[in-house]
Amino acid sequence: MKNMARKVGFADLRNSLIDKYSICIRIITPNIMKNADIITYLNTKKELVDKALEKYFLNENSFFKAMYYSVDSGKRIRPILAISSYEANGGSDTASIMPIACGLELIHTYSLIHDDLPAMDDDDLRRGKASAHKKFDEATAILSGDGLFAYAFELLSSGAVLSREKLAVIRAVSEVVGPKGVVYGQVLDTSDAQEFHPKILRTIHLNKTAKFIAVAIKVGAIMARAPDARIEALYQAGVYLGMLFQYTDDILDVVGEKDELGKTPGKDEVSGKITAPGVYGLDGAQFRAERYAALARHRFSSLGANFDIFNKITDFVLNRSY
Ligand code: GRG
């Protein structure tokens, strides 16, 4: 992604400086260094996910090209969370988590394609290019979403054995993306009778976004065979991270730049959507975003140093500009 590339450029510069003036820089610029470290981490993971995704769209019929148009690019936050959680929980076999991480990205991409359709948000721009129904046509966009959803579950269940863990992953993912999660959130989000009430806002954010972010962390822990109590604790921490993610998404819709976001800012207000700035004002939304970040950090920290990566991801999400 363009922004990440820009920040990686900064990271490269910083790394070469560290080589020369190592100690001095670490003392003078600790916060900048931390930020650059997490950007480098996210970029490295994103590249792995990008490569794996590309592979899944090779050597198939021509429709795979249309689906891949929408899959290509994106921050890959959900797959990265799954991989990070897998590793933080002691998992070491990338081959067992990667198809699951990619499956999550396909479901997410499906939700974006359908979200952009005229019957929903009616958006022409996504991930810095024409949204699927604009690039192709509505039928292709709808079918791309349908295809990605089914293909995702093929990836989630891939492999010679459907282990207990994989079954748990499939159950957890299907629960949060269906009518108890993303679909329900979207139903409320697209409802004409929206009431600007904090409770409704919370229900929409929780279902549309937070549960999906949380389940990405959960599936990594499941695949690493973490104890049940830790899987649940990670899911709860992930819900706070997911609420934060949607808060910053809402805030960026007001203050973000089109080029950086790769989508049209200001759409929420135009379409009369219930958003965090709409309910609390911009300052109130920012205050609450920081509170969700603190809650997430508190929960991740309680799990020990292995999970510190999630504190860094939380800070990245809080401060993101895209
Ligand atoms: C069953 C998954 C599913 C979908 C059908 C259309 C629909 C119902 C739901 C739409 C839900 C939706 C668009 C939620 C918004 C979530 C969100 C914050 C999206 C932006 O995610 P980023 O910033 O995007 O991770 P990139 O492009 O970086 O991947």
Nearest to 260 by CA among 151, 127, 130: 127
158 class by beta-carbon count within 10 Å (0-12 exposed, 13-18 middle, 19+ buried): middle
For a ligand 1 pocket test, name from 120, 123, 182 the mutation site with the most ligand atoms within 8 angstroms of its C-beta: 182
Higher pLDDT pick, 233 / 269: 233
Atom of ligand 1 nearest to the CA of 178: 1
Atom of ligand 1 nearest to the CA of 117: 6
| Ligand 1 pocket residues where CB is under 6 Å | 74-75, 77, 107-108, 110-112, 114-115, 120, 127, 177, 182-183, 186, 208-209, 245-246, 249
Q: What percent of the chain has pLDDT over 70?
A: 89
pLDDT at position 192 is 83
pLDDT at position 9 is 35
Q: What is the mean pLDDT of residues 290-300?
A: 98
Q: What is the mean pLDDT of residues 297-311?
A: 98
pLDDT band at 194; cut points 50, 70, 90: confident
In this structure, of 31-45, 116-130, 204-218, 302-316, the range with the lowest mean pLDDT score is: 31-45
For residue 105, report the distance from its CA to the centre of ligand 1, in Å.
10
Q: What is the mean pLDDT of residues 99-118?
A: 98
pLDDT at position 184 is 98
Q: What is the mean pLDDT of residues 104-124?
A: 97
pLDDT at position 304 is 97
Strand ranges (DSSP E) for the chain?
125-126, 129-130
Is the Cβ–Cβ distance between 196 and 130 less than 8 Å? Answer: no
* pLDDT tops 50 at residue 251: yes
pLDDT digits (tens, 9 = 90+) for 26-83: 333 334 446 789 999 999 999 999 999 999 999 679 999 999 999 999 999 999 999 9
For the record, the structure tokens of 9 come out as: 């450029």
* Fold designation for 2-319: Farnesyl Diphosphate Synthase (1.10.600)
Q: What is the mean pLDDT of residues 192-221?
A: 95
Higher pLDDT pick, 8 / 153: 153
Is the Cβ–Cβ distance between 277 and 306 less than 8 Å? Answer: no
Distance CA 207, CA 191 (A): 14
* Residue of the CA atom closest to atom 2 of ligand 1: 111
For residue 233, report the distance from its CA to the centre of ligand 1, in Å.
24
* pLDDT tops 60 at residue 22: no
pLDDT digits (tens, 9 = 90+) for 120-150: 999 999 999 999 999 999 999 999 999 999 9
Distance CA 251, CA 294 (A): 18
Q: What is the mean pLDDT of residues 287-308?
A: 98
For residue 24, report the distance from its CA to the centre of ligand 1, in Å.
42
pLDDT digits (tens, 9 = 90+) for 184-193: 999 999 998 7
* Residue of the CA atom closest to atom 27 of ligand 1: 74
Q: What percent of the chain has pLDDT over 90?
A: 84
Atom of ligand 1 nearest to the CA of 105: 29
DSSP state of 265: T
* pLDDT tops 60 at residue 233: yes
pLDDT at position 38 is 96
For residue 206, report the distance from its CA to the centre of ligand 1, in Å.
12
pLDDT at position 28 is 36
Q: What is the mean pLDDT of residues 10-14?
A: 35
CA distances from 251 to 153, 205, 289 (A): 32, 13, 9
Average pLDDT of the chain, as a whole number: 90
For residue 190, report the distance from its CA to the centre of ligand 1, in Å.
13
For residue 114, report the distance from its CA to the centre of ligand 1, in Å.
9
CB atoms within 10 A of CB 233: 18
For the record, the structure tokens of 81 come out as: 């969370």
pLDDT at position 34 is 63
For the record, the structure tokens of 299 come out as: 């929960």
